[in-house]
Amino acid sequence: MEIGQKVAQQATHAHTASIGDTTIDVGARLRQARLAKGLSIQEVADRVGVSKSFISRFERDVVNASVSTLLKICDVLDVRPGQLFEPPVTKFVPADQRPPINLGGSRMREYLIGGAGNEHMLAIFSIIEPGGGSGDEPYTLDARSDMVHVQTGSLSVTVGDQVYIMQPGDTLTFPPSIPHTWKNPSATETCTALWVIVPPPV
Q: Is the peptide bond before 199 cis (omega within 30 degrees of 0)?
A: yes
Q: Tell me the per-residue pLDDT of 88-130, one tens digit each, with 9 for 90 and over.
A: 556 778 888 888 888 888 999 999 888 665 567 889 999 999 9
Output the average pLDDT for the chain.
Answer: 83
Q: What is the pTM of this model?
A: 0.60
Q: Tell me the per-residue pLDDT of 50-85, one tens digit each, with 9 for 90 and over.
A: 999 999 988 887 888 888 888 899 999 988 877 776
> For 127, phi and psi rounded to 5 degrees?
-115, 110
20: left (phi over 0), alpha (psi -120 to 50) or beta: left
Three-state DSSP class for 79?
A: coil
